[in-house]
Amino acid sequence: MLEGYFTALITPMRDGVVDEEAFRAFVEWQIAEGVAGLVPCGTTGESPTLSHAEHRRVTEICVQVANGRVPVIAGTGSNSTAEAIELTQHAKSAGADAALLVMPYYNKPTQEGMYQHFKAVQDAVALPQIIYNIPGRSVVNMSVETMARLAKLPNIAGVKDATADLTRPTLTRNAIGAEFTQLSGEDGTAIGFYAQGGHGCISVTSNVAPRACSEFFAAWKAGNSAKALELHAELMPLHDVLFCESSPIPVKYAAYLLGKCGPEMRLPLCAPADASKKRIEAVLAALGMLKEAAA
């Protein structure tokens, strides 16, 4: 079972291409700061605008730098089943520990279509696979019943739940069992997700606050709910501001302010509005993060 904070990694870019040097340094920093694992090529990594060659390269670099120290869950999802199979096959050959497959977006498949899509990928690639259920981006929402059907298959290992429905972890646990990995995809509701039976978080916030996020989870895991709630409250302004515009726009700007990458985004994403920049800067300053970056 996977548990703890897994960072949904940004993809640094410079002059229109992936900044491999910055990405390597960023992955190394994440590990040093204590995250439980790494997730390259997800939404936060601007995967919709990465070429297939870039996608493969980012996964390969992440696996190389991690070098077995923490697990790598490679984003391999697509609304084309054949493409998802191809990317998942590459993730396995690159040495990833698991794959994260987003719900087929835009196509709007039925529950049966969802089942057949994920079944086809797991049939084709013997690698643990995490279903990424995010109706806000994919439009469709996998039912607990469909997930329970999929969980009977050998390579379906868990879910990244970005529904923000805090009844889901318990419903899923009751339907599938405690060994089915449940990772939150919503930083702001993570503590409630854990209380309902979740095992960890695939996080946007841990891009810029990996140690604080890891300490929060450690407090929860140790049974110190008061400390966990205190740390959660401290992180909430950061959780909030990192979604003041479409993610990953704010978190990439925050990482830039911390000196971890350049500010470059790839269209159709663009730089945050000036008002958003000021909000992000104010929150980082209030948390003392800008002083730490300058030290």
User: Does 230 map to a domain?
Assistant: no
User: Does 249 map to a domain?
Assistant: no
Per-residue b or e along 108-146, where b marks 16 or more CB atoms closer than 10 Å to that residue's CB: ebeeeebbebbbebbebbebbbbbbbbeeebebbbebeb
How deeply is 291 buried, as exposed, middle or buried, from its count of CB atoms within 10 A (0-12, 13-18, 19+)? Answer: exposed
Any alpha helices (H) in 12-131, and if so which ranges?
20-32, 52-66, 81-94, 111-124
| Catalytic (active site) residue 194 | no
User: Does 282 map to a domain?
Assistant: no
Question: 172: domain range?
Answer: 4-224
Asked if omega into 272 is within 30° of 0 (cis), the reply is: no
Tens digits of residue pLDDT in 214-228:
999 999 999 999 999
User: Does 143 map to a domain?
Assistant: yes
Query: Could you say which DSSP state residue 205 is in?
Result: G
User: Does 292 map to a domain?
Assistant: no
Catalytic: which of 160, 252, 260, 277? 160
Confidence grade of residue 1 (pLDDT, cut at 50, 70, 90): confident
Tens digits of residue pLDDT in 131-147:
999 999 999 999 999 99
At residue 104, the pLDDT reads 95
Average predicted confidence (pLDDT) for the chain: 96
- Domain tally, the chain: 1
Which CATH number is 207's domain given?
A: 3.20.20.70
User: Does 28 map to a domain?
Assistant: yes
Catalytic: which of 115, 132, 194, 253? 132
User: Does 147 map to a domain?
Assistant: yes
| Catalytic (active site) residue 132 | yes
Question: Whole-prediction pTM value?
Answer: 0.95
